[in-house]
Amino acid sequence: MAAAVGHVYSLKQKTPGSGYPVFDIEWVPLYEVDKKADYTKAYLKVLSQLAKNADEVVNACDYDSEGAVIGKKIIEFNAPNKKQSRMKFSTLTTKELQEAFVQRGALDLAQALAGEARHELDWLWGINTSRALMQAIKKAGIFSILSIGRVQGPTLAVLAQREKEIAAFKPQPYWQLFALVRSAVFEHVHGKFWVEQESDKALANSSKQGTVKSVESKKVKQRPPPPFDLTTLQIEAYKCFKIQPTQTLQLAQQLYEASLVSYPRSSSQKLPEKLGLQGIILQLQKQPAYAKFADSLAREKRFRPCEGEKDDPAHPALHPTGEIPSKLSPPQQKMYDLITKRFLACFAPDAKKTRMNVVLTLGKEDYRAEGVRTTEKGWMEFYEPYAKIEETILPAFEEKERVEAEKLEKVKKETQPPKRFTPASIIKALEAKGLGTKATRANIVQTLFDRRYLAGKSIEVTPLGLTVEKALEENVPLILSDEMTKKFESEMEDIEQKKITKEQVVEEGKAALKEILAVFRQKEDAIGSKLVDAVKATQRNDSVLGGCKSCTKSLVVRKSKYGLFVGCLGYPECKTIYPLPKNAVIKPMRSVCEKCGTPVVSVFRKGKKTFRMCLDPRCPTKAHWGNKREQDENNP
């Protein structure tokens, strides 16, 4: 048995060169493509040696498209003529792995071919369109690393469209009438008045004295939420903890590798009975944090979950395995708790609520208030603190009784622009549009951040991002087409179902890409001229690290024959300078040191942890940096 440590083979163009178009590619060992992957040589050597003497090669990688590709490539390069089989599992518990080994079947070749097609199309689109983009800006006289891709382009277009809607939004005034009765707020039944004169007329027809027109009470049930698929986990983790979707996947993967939860890259909201759900609940009784709720389910024999509509033929919804965790980091503990409580809540009773609707007649006008009160928490108790119980308690009213308002008022408001996407809501929007996969969406959004196309927790498209989107939309709109991207995603699913071949899909993708690149070549000058100002502005902005304490100018990154340093724009009048770490990329943090008031930057160095530092080498925060242990911990 030997580990594959992820992808150990990757794509590479056959002939050297940095131009476009590039269509002649091949699969090669990863270390030939990525110098940072040199460690994979040793793994490949072990795999090759084992394969020589093996009677059978078993692919025990994760049971998904990526795992299928990893195993297929290793077998192709190292054991093409050996007996081949596949293990299928959703958790890494000893019991399930043993069963998967005994029940192993044929290689999932169709799934692997679909994965290969996605890799090859993404590589071809990414390298060609990105090189075309950089060639356009190079012809305009500057150099900048830009990128676009098969899914990046449509994703940027979705975000840019929202930005345009916000910019074009014109607020409209409207008016609402409110009455305060027994400390409860009632709103005029008309709702929003778009004409002020109409609200004035209704207010004039209202009086503080009135009667209760109607009282309606209705008991309702609220079913438990379904178990998590990856997207809903990412959305919930961001809502509860503000954990970024990329980190949510990393944490869930770590829990999976520790045999604590099931495979995270699932699209399913189903929990089949064959998982041994009763056994998992009984196992959770052994964990103090969940014993109370697991005991309750066991006593009432509640072993049938509430499920959602989404399904995934390869994996069930995310769920705990019942294994007892040890030594979890705080973020891992949060993620485990969220997944486990959601799982338990799926089996719990409905929550019960009473909804009230009270209508008052004040003068000649009617006013309404709605209330809601939770009478039985049900599943909400199992899912605390993640289930928010929001209640509006109305005082008691009886029909036809007389009432008096403490206050009547007219309030002017304005319509609000569309909300910007959050890192979680954009994942949900991409899923709804069929863009990307459950495993790639978060990384695609992160790449757009890395390219300076996006900024902020409430995602804002930067001037550079808007300019790239506009230049492509006006000249090569197919790069941004979500319809074409969805079409290829659908065809890759068809490969898995053996409705179409990998070769057909890849050739079709190449044909579409050739058409796009031919147009791009003709429009290079136009695209470059649109991008140049935005790229220059972005580069200037990235070089400004903050304000100078000695004068009113800015501190910027400078270059000398000795390397990079920080200098003041007020030079030669202001001679403030600071050193910078060698062989590092510096990014401004737009904040100042609490100790000395000097700008703070992030330092990125290859192979080392990213860290933040104050620019001033004499700052008290660096008092112990001469200590080797301190240096090792902070990587300054």
Rounded Cα distance, 271 and 384, in Å: 21
C-alpha closest to that of 442 among 594, 160, 237, 249 = 249
pLDDT class for 607, splitting at 50, 70, 90? low
- How far is residue 28's CA from residue 494's CA, in Å, rounded to a whole number? 26
263 catalytic per annotation:
yes
The domain limits of the chain are 9-107, 118-168+420-535, 173-223+351-414, 230-345, 548-634
User: Which helix (DSSP H) or strand (DSSP E) does residue 565 occupy?
Assistant: strand 563-568
**Confidence band of 633 (pLDDT split at 50, 70, 90):** very low
Q: Quote the CA–CA distance of 114 and 108 in Å, as a whole number.
A: 10
Q: Is 602 helix (H, G, I), strand (E, B) or coil?
A: strand
CA distance 193 to 206: 15
* Domain 173-223+351-414 belongs in CATH node 2.40.40.20: no
What is the mean pLDDT of the segment spanning 430-452? 92
Q: Is the peptide bond before 21 cis (omega within 30 degrees of 0)?
A: yes
Please name the fold of domain 9-107: Rossmann fold (3.40.50)
Could you tell me which CATH number the domain at 230-345 has? 1.10.290.10
pLDDT at 626: 62
pLDDT in tens, 294-333: 999 999 999 999 999 999 988 999 999 999 999 999 999 9
Other CB atoms within a 10 A radius of the CB of residue 227 amount to 27
Which sign, positive or negative, has the C-alpha torsion 31, 77, 502, 270? negative
Label residue 224 by pLDDT band (50, 70, 90). very high
State the pTM of this model: 0.86
Cis geometry, peptide bond prior to residue 385 (ω within 30 degrees of 0): yes
Q: Which of 9, 263, 383, 453 is catalytic?
A: 263
* Contact status, residue 467 vs residue 137, Cβ threshold 8 Å: no
Q: Is the pLDDT of residue 429 over 80?
A: yes
Q: Is 317 exposed, middle or buried (0-12, 13-18, 19+ CB in 10 A)?
A: buried
| 435, pLDDT greater than 60 | yes
Residue written as tokens 């596949």?
Answer: 86
> What pLDDT does 632 receive?
40
Q: What topology does CATH give the domain 118-168+420-535?
A: Topoisomerase I; domain 2 (1.10.460)
Query: At 368, which helix (H) or strand (E)?
Result: strand 365-376
The pLDDT tens digits for 524-533 are 999 999 999 8
Read off the pLDDT of residues 476-489 as tens digits, 9 standing for 90 and up.
999 999 999 999 99
- Convert 34-55 to b/e letters by CB count within 10 Å (16 or more is b): eeebeebeebbeebeeebeeee
